[in-house]
């Protein structure tokens, strides 16, 4: 994740500047939207809100996604690879507890007060299933109830869900 998961912050202003130039250059011919996928990490809500307050006026679109789960005093990227997912299972004690933690973070992202520029779309709420062929799991009633709470709360707040088909290409995701 250190090398390819995010644009370095030092490149963000240039990204926005260049896309703004392209929007003007192709105005009337092509719709170009400036957007970001914003990571939600509960312990960093203040920093995320500050980031969105700073850059939100430049964005046409954004997605709020959960990729990292707390693991002791650090975080593990849920979807980085199967070894990271196994680390989460070891940390949380079971696959079900990883799913519960993931959907708890999703719920928190939905209800989090991130300000006027909070993304109105929640990213890939099925990401926990990325390695289901390696770590088989059928959702328990507890997980289903939490997923329903996420969906109900997103609907109540008028949020959209990102529909991501990348799992169809991933070898361990199933269908």
pLDDT tens digits, one per residue of 134-157? 999 999 999 999 999 999 999 999
DSSP state of 65: E
In a domain, 174, yes or no: no
In a domain, 10, yes or no: no
In a domain, 129, yes or no: yes
In a domain, 6, yes or no: no
Q: What pLDDT sits at residue 138?
A: 92
Q: What pLDDT sits at residue 3?
A: 65
Look at the block and give the residue holding tokens 């209800």. Answer: 111
In a domain, 25, yes or no: no
Given a cut of 80, whether residue 5 has pLDDT beyond it is no
Q: What pLDDT sits at residue 175?
A: 60
User: SS3 for 41?
Assistant: coil
Q: What percent of the chain has pLDDT over 70?
A: 97
How many domains, the chain?
A: 1
In a domain, 173, yes or no: no
In a domain, 14, yes or no: no
Mean pLDDT of 156-175: 83
User: pLDDT: is 130 or 168 the higher one?
Assistant: 130
Q: Which CATH number goes with the domain that contains 107?
A: 3.20.20.140
Q: What pLDDT sits at residue 137?
A: 92
Give the CA dihedral 61, 66, 67, 72, nearest 10 degrees. Answer: 150
Q: How far apart are CA 130 and CA 38, in angstroms?
A: 19
| Model confidence pLDDT, tens digit, residues 75-132 | 999 998 999 999 999 999 999 999 999 999 999 999 999 999 999 999 999 999 999 9
Q: Which domain does 53 fall in, by range?
A: 37-168
Which of 103, 65, 67, 63 has its CA nearest to residue 85? 67
In a domain, 12, yes or no: no
């Amino acid at each position: 994740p250190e090398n390819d998961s995010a644009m370095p912050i030092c490149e963000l202003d240039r990204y926005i500047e260049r896309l703004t130039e392209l929007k003007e250059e192709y105005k009337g011919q092509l719709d170009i939207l400036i957007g970001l996928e914003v990571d939600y990490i509960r312990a960093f809500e203040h920093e995320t809100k500050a980031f969105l307050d700073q850059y939100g006026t430049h964005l046409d679109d954004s997605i709020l996604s959960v990729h990292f789960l707390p693991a002791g005093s650090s975080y593990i990227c849920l979807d980085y690879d199967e070894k990271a997912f196994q680390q989460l299972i070891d940390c949380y004690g079971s696959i079900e507890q990883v799913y519960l933690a993931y959907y708890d973070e999703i719920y928190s992202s939905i209800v989090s007060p991130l300000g006027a520029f909070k993304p109105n779309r929640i990213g890939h709420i099925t990401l926990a299933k990325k390695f289901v062929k390696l770590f088989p799991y059928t959702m328990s009633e507890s997980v289903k109830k939490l997923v329903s709470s996420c969906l109900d709360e997103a609907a109540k707040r008028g949020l959209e869900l990102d529909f991501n088909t990348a799992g169809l290409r991933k070898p361990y995701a199933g269908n």
